[in-house]
Amino acid sequence: MNNLPNKIEELIKVISSLPGIGPKSAERIALYILSMSDSKVQKLVETIQNTKKDVHLCPICFNLTDKEICDICANPARDHSVICVVEEVRDLFAIEKSGYYNGVYHVLHGSIDPMNHISPEDLKIKELVERVAKGNIKEVIIATNPNFNGDITALYIKKLLKPYRIKITRIATGLPKGTEIDFADSVTLSMAIKERKEI
Ligand SMILES: [Zn+2]
């Protein structure tokens, strides 16, 4: 970079390691932080630290929560017999924002990725099977991304859940191949769930 002091370059590097922030934005944010008052910077740091400390994974669905179990799992108005399986918490947020879905979730925290050596054991797949094995589940909707990793993850889960004789569906219709769930708009996402197909 343009002969900035090392400390500032370091800050820019850390900020640009965050998702969705390119070098130019990172530079702007770094310079903005440096222009902030000490108390505001402290508030920002404390908020990040406290959020990180208080937020953990829901032991049922692995969504993020600051309570014992997440608001969705704790909500009696949701349909607990339908589980929507997503790769990441941001996918859950996207589906929640679309407002159509009223079941519960299961967050895998990734997808099977042979290229990067991410295997089923690295994901919350075993926990999903345990949930289904407990009974009272009518349907599992697999909402992994419509790409290679998402598709092989869906097939793998389907194979594991087959013995439980529940309905297994896949959202795909309406989602163009390659569109990641968290980038799809609410209408497209609602349609993709509504028109899910049994697999
Ligand atoms: Zn939960």
**pLDDT values of the chain reduced to their tens digit, one per residue, 199 residues:** 467 889 999 999 999 999 889 999 999 999 999 999 999 999 999 999 999 999 999 999 999 999 999 999 999 999 999 999 999 999 999 999 998 999 999 999 999 999 999 999 999 999 999 999 998 999 999 999 988 899 999 999 999 999 998 999 998 755 666 667 777 788 888 888 888 888 8
Long-range contacts of 24-31 (CB under 8 A, 24+ apart): 27/1
Quote the pLDDT of residue 176: 64
pTM metric for this prediction: 0.82
Instruction: Tell me the CA–centroid distance for residue 128 and ligand 1, in Å.
Output: 12
| CA distances, 59 to each of 37, 63, 128 (Å) | 39, 8, 11
Quote the pLDDT of residue 194: 85
Quote the pLDDT of residue 91: 94
The region, left, alpha or beta by phi > 0 then psi within -120 to 50, assigned to residue 166 is beta
Instruction: Tell me the CA–centroid distance for residue 106 and ligand 1, in Å.
Output: 8
- Domains parsed from the chain with CATH numbers: 6-54 (1.10.8.420), 64-198 (3.40.1360.10)
Quote the pLDDT of residue 137: 96
Instruction: Tell me the CA–centroid distance for residue 145 and ligand 1, in Å.
Output: 20
- Report which of 149, 199, 148, 191 is spatially closest to residue 170, judged by C-alpha positions: 199
Give the contacts of 69 (CB within 8 A, at least 6 positions apart): 58, 59, 60
**Number of Cβ atoms within 10 Å of the Cβ of 166:** 16
Instruction: Tell me the CA–centroid distance for residue 174 and ligand 1, in Å.
Output: 27
Instruction: Report the number of secondary-structure helices (H) and strands (E) in the chain.
Output: 7, 7
- Report which of 58, 63, 140, 131 is spatially closest to residue 96, judged by C-alpha positions: 63
- DSSP summary character for residue 116: G
Instruction: Tell me the CA–centroid distance for residue 170 and ligand 1, in Å.
Output: 21
Instruction: Tell me the CA–centroid distance for residue 198 and ligand 1, in Å.
Output: 25
Instruction: Tell me the CA–centroid distance for residue 13 and ligand 1, in Å.
Output: 34
